[in-house]
């Protein structure tokens, strides 16, 4: 109870600030016509302001100024997050080319790695120890840019990126607290409170979107905090952030594989992300799709916590969750409609599941020539 009482001010102050600021941001967005553009991939209708990330960012910075006395590391995070946030905000207002947005992210990542020293230590995989600094720098930069984009790419439904980021930060903060990284826990509490402050406006039906400025900022912060919280050298410590961020990272990886497999550019958007599949192939409602992805994210978060306390039990749970996810990917044709190696093997060995013209899942349909 004492821990909860200590944590409450960090969450509550940032929540209130964000909650109060959002209506002002909406008015500003309407005045400058910073609307989300409707196209063939969007699921919203009407003029919805897309710069809600300003409220999250402002609440975070103000609360940090109130409670935290930053050192060089956290100063670097503030500067890096500002670079990413500004890049996203400019894109929300003027639609930057993807390569320009990527430049903002790379510059921010380089700053926090080389100025703030936010990076992995030597990596002990058991059979080999990686001490080469160029390799460590590359992995750290790749992680920061990758997670930043993963959160942005999953920002396709009302409240999705915010809810997943909130759950992720809570899990990172909890494990960091158990590792006695109180500084990381406090930052997680402040940011999760700010994100919670916009969720009532951003959940379906949303009256404001976080935009690239919000999604990129959340992704960048999660990437940096996960490096700070889990920068121990052991392999199992490196697994924690991968488990916690399984949904956005898996969705991003599948998008890259899918686009390459179908001869499309990696930057070419499509309607085959996980949330699109749940809505358009499975038939879930907008709200239920988001809630289901919250639940799955929470399951992986629980698995990360379980693995922290009991590695064997956590590993068993992880294998089960990954197997279920892989079956879902094959059944729904998330990579290609004819890519289903495990189901195909089961079909050869047992004759099941059988194919039919009116099968519910793509993997079981008889393809018309």
Helices (H), 245-364: 246-261, 274-276, 286-309, 311-332, 341-350
Which regions of 31-149 does DSSP assign to beta strands (E)? 123-124, 129-130
Q: Report which of residues 42 and 277 the model is more confident about.
A: 277
* Mean pLDDT within 36-46: 60
Check residue 265 and give its pLDDT: 80
Q: What is the pLDDT of residue 124?
A: 60
> Can you tell me the mean pLDDT for 89-112?
94
Q: Could you report the per-residue pLDDT of 177-199, keeping only the tens digit for each?
A: 998 889 999 999 999 999 999 99
Q: Of 220, 177, 240, 233, which Cα lies nearest the Cα of 76?
A: 220
Least confident span in 126-135, 251-260, 264-273: 126-135
- 366 pLDDT band (50/70/90 cuts)? confident
Residues 222-235 pLDDT 10s: 999 988 877 654 55
Q: For the chain, how big is the Rg over CA atoms in Å?
A: 21
On the question of pLDDT at 273 being above 60, the answer is: yes
E strands, 100-255, are: 123-124, 129-130
> HSE-up of 20 (CA within 13 Å, CB side)?
9
pLDDT tens-digit map of 103-155:
999 999 999 999 998 887 766 655 666 777 888 889 889 999 999 999 998 88
- pLDDT computed for residue 369 by the predictor: 42
Mean pLDDT of 23-28: 95
CB 229 within 8 A of CB 175: yes
Cβ atoms of residues 169 and 217 within 8 Å: no
Look at residue 236 in the predicted model and tell me its pLDDT. 57
The two tokens of residue 253 are 């990886």
Please check the confidence at residue 297 and state whether its pLDDT lies above 80: yes
* pLDDT confidence bin for 72, thresholds 50/70/90: confident
Q: Reply yes or no on whether the pLDDT at 362 is more than 80.
A: no
Look at residue 206 and give its three-state secondary structure.
Answer: coil
The pLDDT score that the predictor gives to residue 231 is 63
| Count of CB atoms situated within 10 Å of the CB of 99 | 8
Note the pLDDT of residue 67: 93
pLDDT above 80: residue 4: no
pLDDT tens, position by position, 324-356: 999 999 888 888 878 888 988 888 888 888 888
∠ CA 210-216-260, nearest 5°, is 115
CA distance 302 to 218: 21
pTM, whole model, 2 decimals?
0.90
């Amino acid at each position: 109870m004492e821990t909860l009482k200590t944590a409450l001010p960090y969450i509550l102050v940032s929540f209130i600030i964000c909650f109060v600021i959002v209506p002002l941001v909406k008015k500003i967005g309407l005045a400058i016509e910073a609307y989300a553009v409707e196209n063939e991939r969007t699921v919203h209708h009407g003029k919805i302001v897309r710069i809600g990330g300003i409220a999250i960012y402002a609440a975070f910075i103000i609360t940090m100024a109130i409670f935290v006395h930053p050192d060089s590391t956290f100063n670097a995070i503030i500067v890096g997050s500002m670079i990413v946030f500004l890049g996203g905000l400019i894109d929300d207002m003027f639609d930057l080319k993807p390569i320009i947005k990527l430049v903002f992210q790379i510059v921010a990542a380089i700053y926090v790695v080389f100025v703030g020293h936010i990076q992995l230590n030597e990596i002990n995989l058991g059979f080999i120890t990686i001490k080469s600094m160029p390799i460590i720098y590359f992995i750290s930069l790749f992680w920061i840019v990758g997670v930043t984009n993963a959160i942005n790419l999953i920002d396709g439904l009302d409240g999705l990126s915010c809810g997943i980021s909130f759950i992720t930060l809570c899990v990172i903060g909890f494990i960091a607290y158990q590792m006695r990284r109180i500084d990381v826990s406090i930052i997680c509490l402040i940011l999760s409170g700010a994100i919670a402050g916009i969720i009532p406006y951003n959940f379906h039906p949303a009256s404001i979107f976080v935009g690239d400025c919000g999604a990129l900022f959340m992704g960048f912060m999660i990437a940096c905090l996960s490096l700070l919280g889990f920068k121990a050298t052991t392999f199992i410590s490196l697994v924690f952030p991968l488990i916690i961020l399984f949904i956005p990272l898996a969705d991003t990886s599948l998008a890259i594989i899918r686009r390459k497999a179908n001869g499309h550019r990696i930057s070419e958007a499509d309607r085959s992300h996980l949330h699109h599949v749940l809505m358009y192939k499975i038939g879930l409602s907008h709200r239920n799709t988001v809630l289901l992805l919250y639940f799955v994210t929470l399951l992986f978060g629980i698995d990360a916590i379980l693995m922290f306390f009991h590695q064997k039990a956590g590993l068993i749970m992880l294998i089960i969750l990954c197997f279920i996810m892989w079956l879902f990917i094959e059944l729904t044709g998330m990579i290609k409609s004819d890519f289903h190696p495990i189901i195909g093997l089961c079909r050869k060995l047992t004759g099941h599941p059988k194919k039919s013209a009116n099968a519910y899942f793509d993997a079981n349909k008889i393809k018309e020539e």
